[in-house]
């Protein structure tokens, strides 16, 4: 059963003493004072749009969300800016170089990795790329791509609700 990450802190990671109250946020060790805050980690998602106002969607080859659709993106690395993470993740996953981007909106997300669910803050950007640039997927992570005007049925097949909400927000804002 999926469980929130704070439930997995049954022992202090610093001194190893058993937790008195499992699942409390933040985790605080009564023996050594170590604290862990479980704050959301930052992630980026790119709404890559072509000249025909079609959106690049990618299908996930790995869990979480294997076989479902999403936006190129991923976690921000330590020491990286949000913008650097956006450029790096879109390049790594699709081989596209972002030529312009603008911040769109953020939505919280939950990331289930092997049953442990951690909070994520997804930051979405609308991105442009050169018209001649060709998509080459990172085939370990992604197995299909499409340039689409997202249909309701496609939006039903998305891996993460946050990605869906960002696309719906973008579609509403375009009108
Ligand atoms: Zn401790």
For the stretch 9-35, pLDDT in tens is: 999 999 999 999 999 999 999 999 999
What's the gap in Å between 4 CA and the centre of ligand 1? Answer: 21
What average pLDDT does the chain have?
96
- Residue 23: the pLDDT is 94
Ligand 1 centre distance from Cα of residue 38 (Å): 16
CA of 27 to the centre of ligand 1 (A): 10
For residue 1, what pLDDT band results from cuts at 50, 70 and 90? Answer: confident
Say how far apart CA 19 and CA 31 lie, in whole Å. Answer: 9
CATH pick for 41-174 out of 3.90.79.10, 3.30.470.20, 1.20.1250.20, 3.40.50.1110: 3.90.79.10
Domain assignments of the chain as residue spans, ordered by start: 1-38, 41-174
**What's the 25 CA to ligand 1 centre distance in angstroms?**
15
pTM: 0.93
Q: Are 166 and 45 in contact (CB under 8 A)?
A: yes
Residue 175 has pLDDT above 80, yes or no: no
**Rounded CA separation 26/120 (Å):** 16
Residue 86 has pLDDT above 90, yes or no: yes
pLDDT at 85 (0 to 100): 98
16 CA distance to ligand 1 centroid (A)? 6
CA of 21 to the centre of ligand 1 (A): 13
Query: What spatial distance separates the first Cα and last Cα of the chain, rounded to whole Å?
Result: 41
């Amino acid at each position: 059963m999926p469980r929130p990450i704070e439930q997995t802190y049954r022992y202090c990671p610093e001194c190893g003493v058993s937790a008195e109250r499992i699942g409390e946020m933040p985790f605080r060790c009564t023996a050594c004072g170590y604290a862990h805050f479980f704050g959301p980690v930052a992630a980026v998602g790119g709404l890559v749009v072509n000249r025909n106002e079609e959106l690049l969607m990618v299908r996930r080859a790995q869990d979480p969300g294997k076989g479902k659709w999403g936006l190129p993106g991923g976690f921000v690395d330590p020491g990286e800016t949000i913008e650097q993470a956006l450029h790096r993740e879109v390049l790594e996953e699709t081989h596209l170089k972002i030529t312009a981007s603008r911040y769109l909106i953020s939505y919280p997300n939950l990331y289930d990795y092997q049953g442990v669910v951690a909070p994520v803050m997804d930051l979405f950007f609308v991105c442009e790329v050169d018209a001649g640039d060709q998509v080459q997927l990172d085939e370990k992570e992604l197995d299909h791509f499409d340039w689409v005007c997202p249909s309701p049925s496609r939006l039903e097949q998305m891996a993460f609700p946050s990605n869906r909400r960002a696309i719906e927000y973008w579609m509403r804002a375009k009108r």
